[in-house]
Amino acid sequence: MNLRSLFRRNRFKNRAKPDKAERKLSKLARAAGLIAEWRKRYARAAAMCVLLLAALAALTWALDRPVRLISMDGNFQRVSPGQIEKAVAPFAHAGFMSADLDAVQRAVEALPWVDHARVQRRWPGSLHVTVIEQTAAARWGEAGLLNTRGELFIRSAAHVPVELPRLSGPDGTESQVAQRYLAVQGRMLEAGLRIAALRLDERGAWEMDLDSGVTVRLGRRDVDERIDRFIRTASQVIAHRMNDITYVDMRYSNGFAIGWRNSQAPASTPAKHSDDTDA
């Protein structure tokens, strides 16, 4: 073997690939380096977060001074500013920043005649309350009041507006009766009539009183259709005889009956009696 061949053999031997153990050690070394670098970055990020939170806490503490003023606005007719201030006062002691605005809103909306409230912070140390009062659309029973959504918001009002229509029905039917009234009142007004009362009895039968004193009997079945027929037909028949009529009975499939105060002959004869058992 000459020197040239020996040199070539040594050269290729030196260039041989590292074995598996060496490759594994190399990978572990790289992984350890990456972990160390990640730990450094995480530590720097954590330290920055701690500093930011500390700064925010210090700022909040500096701004969280006692509330010095409670301001309010709204069209106050049934709710007094004193009632609102009394409802807000327990929350004002928590401070300007820590006052729970949602809790303040709930406290104000719990007052009688308050429909909706909005609470805002106003720099540097006041809470502002905007109040929208309930709008009474009808009476419920003797002293209850319903709003325009058909919700019973007061069960026993001290002062009941006498001009409001009176609705009544079994417990739990407030919304049902109110929705029927709200659905038909506009059409009645267009026909020159005004509903003074609307009743739903325990059997599910409906009646309404007009402001002229005439009672319209609607029964339990096809109530909406009977109201439509009354507006289209019966109201035109009785329009000029309101003072002579006590009731109009719409519980017929193709007609109606009129009850006269002086036992006069009916203006129309019902074609067919309905199958309402209460007719």
| Same-domain status, 157 and 235 | yes
* 155 and 214 both lie in a single domain: yes
The pLDDT mean for the chain works out to: 83
Residues 105 and 159 both lie in one domain: no
Structural domain boundaries, residue 32: 3-63
How many distinct structural domains can be found in the chain? 3
Q: What pLDDT score does 113 carry?
A: 95
Question: Is residue 2 scored above 70 in pLDDT?
Answer: no
pLDDT at position 20 is: 67
Global confidence as pTM? 0.68
**Do residue 211 and residue 145 come from a single domain?**
yes
**Any domain includes 279:** no
Q: Decide if 168 is inside a domain.
A: yes
Higher-pLDDT residue of 44 and 126 is 126
One domain for residues 152 and 245: yes
- 187 or 8: whose pLDDT is higher? 187
- Does residue 185 fall inside a structural domain? yes
**What's the mean pLDDT in 116-124?**
91
**What's residue 217's pLDDT?**
98
Residue 124 and residue 152 in one domain: no
Q: Is the pLDDT of residue 252 over 60?
A: yes
Do 100 and 50 belong together in one domain? no
**278 belongs to a structural domain:** no
CATH code (residue 106) = 3.10.20.310
Residue of 121 and 50 predicted with greater confidence: 121
What does DSSP say about strands 166-168 and 195-200: parallel, antiparallel, or unpaired?
Answer: parallel
- For residue 205, what pLDDT is reported? 98
Residues 129 and 140 in one domain: no
The stretch 146-151 carries a mean pLDDT of: 92
- Asked if residue 49 belongs to a domain, the reply is yes
Find the CATH number of the domain harbouring 225: 3.40.50.11690
Segment 78-108, tens digit of pLDDT: 999 999 999 998 887 888 888 899 999 999 9
